[in-house]
Amino acid sequence: MQSIWIEKSVPLEGKVVVSSAKNAVLPIMAATLLTGETCTIHKMPRLSDVQAMVEVLNHLGSQTHMKYDTLTARCEGLVTEEAPYEAMRRLRASVLVMGPLLARFGKARLPLPGGCNIGVRPVDLHLKGFRALGAEITLGNGYVTATAPRLTGARIYLDFPSVGATENLLMAACLAKGTTILENAAKEPEIMDLGEMLMAMGAKIKGLGSDFLIIEGARQLSGVEYTPIPDRVEAGTFMVGAAMTGGNVLLQNVRCAHLRPVLAKLREAGATITEYPKSLRIKGSPKIHSVDIKSLPYPGFPTDMQPQMMALCCLGDGTSVITETVFENRFLHVGELKRMGADILIDDRSAVVKGVSQLQGTKVEAPDLRAGAALILAGLAAKGVTQIMGLEHIDRGYDRLEEKLRSLGASIERRDA
């Protein structure tokens, strides 16, 4: 078992290249199942979630090859319609293979997915949509099975703008007979990225970027060569690190339009941010101002940045109120931050954070992916040494995080615990 050790950091300075977005790459990988031709995906991040998805694709019958940061995948036919239990248990996004399997092969059998323990995140919206498209769904013994000779276009209203359900139904609709309309669809940049790839494969989609999608089904899709968008959450995490340490960091491979809520809150907290076409520079302030945050579906403040911003608010000059509306269990990091000296009170779906002058390094454990990032950021600003356990969560979503932080001057290393 390994852990990350961090000493209080000097101000982070330098430049870092942001990797491709985990939340864009995973559905893009699933979409390669929609065609029998070769798909080539460039700039793949080195993540355990990516490796788990490769295992899922290979198990199903896809032939994959990774060379440097380029993945090629070709699925001419299925070996099995049943996804592997172990990979599915580790990777919640693996449920995204259901739409492509059902649309192209007419059948799919999946164990109910795992992933971070940050909330219920049920697949009922996915299944409701598949039923509307004509699939027969059965649940039993921890598995969900879907069958349909061929899906048929339908009008589907999502009760909540679920990112995963939008992605799964968007992929399924691309090979359904007729027209599918998705109402109250999620609008995250990662969905737009998936849609751009699908259209490059020959799909006909209107309304990308809105909550009203129209998809004209095709008989088949072609192979594609594609590069996913940069990871806005990774970018945001480095930005918070610069703000917490009073640093000066240039982030390259960034789309500022995807970061508007995070940029606004960091400026409100006192950071100076200069935007460029494909990069940005952030300079921290000696004084961190407290800010109020409410997580919302895109284009609101992203729930995946809420724990990191809470770490920042722990050092604010007043009281911050952070409200979580997306996942009901996304305050699992609070107890660990309090072990480091943070003053936080939970009130239902809100956290009241009173800024303290100093955090104290200690041994903590990451309960989920973004909580792990928040604890690393807190460790950079904490007096003494911080040891962080639970690295399996962090490795799911951050590409060479310690290496990138060291390049900015951080004293951080991975050791055998």
Look up residue 371 and give its two tokens: 């909580």
The C-alpha atoms of residue 125 and residue 95 are separated, in whole angstroms, by 12
Known binder of ligand: residue 231?
Answer: no
Catalytic residue status for 313 = no
Contact 173, 145 (CB under 8 A): no
Known binder of ligand: residue 304?
Answer: yes
The C-alpha atoms of residue 132 and residue 138 are separated, in whole angstroms, by 14
Helix (H) or strand (E) holding 267: helix 260-268
Contact 190, 164 (CB under 8 A): no
Known binder of ligand: residue 321?
Answer: no
The C-alpha atoms of residue 55 and residue 30 are separated, in whole angstroms, by 12
Look up residue 25 and give its two tokens: 């790459």
Known binder of ligand: residue 364?
Answer: no
DSSP 304: G
Known binder of ligand: residue 22?
Answer: yes
Strand intervals (E) in 202-332: 204-206, 212-216, 224-226, 248-252, 272-275, 279-283, 293-294, 319-323
Across 386-411, b (16+ Cβ under 10 Å) vs e yields bbbbbbebbbbbbbebbebbeebbbe
Across 130-151, b (16+ Cβ under 10 Å) vs e yields bebbbbebeeeeeebbbbbeeb
Known binder of ligand: residue 49?
Answer: no
Known binder of ligand: residue 124?
Answer: yes
Contact 193, 131 (CB under 8 A): no
The C-alpha atoms of residue 395 and residue 360 are separated, in whole angstroms, by 24
Give the count of beta carbons closer than 10 Å to the beta carbon of residue 97: 29
| Catalytic residue chosen out of the listed positions 75, 116, 313, 314 | 116
DSSP 177: B
Indicate the length of the chain as a whole number. Answer: 417
Known binder of ligand: residue 78?
Answer: no
Look up residue 296 and give its two tokens: 């919302």
Known binder of ligand: residue 92?
Answer: yes
Look up residue 163 and give its two tokens: 């990112």
In order of 124, 129, 175, 185, 270, the CA distances from 151 in angstroms are: 18, 11, 8, 19, 52
Residue 50 φ then ψ, to 5°: -65, -45
Known binder of ligand: residue 90?
Answer: no
Annotated binding site for phosphoenolpyruvate: 22-23
Annotated binding site: 22-23, 92, 121-125, 304, 326
Binding residues for UDP-N-acetyl-alpha-D-glucosamine: 92, 121-125, 304, 326
Which residues are marked as active site?
116
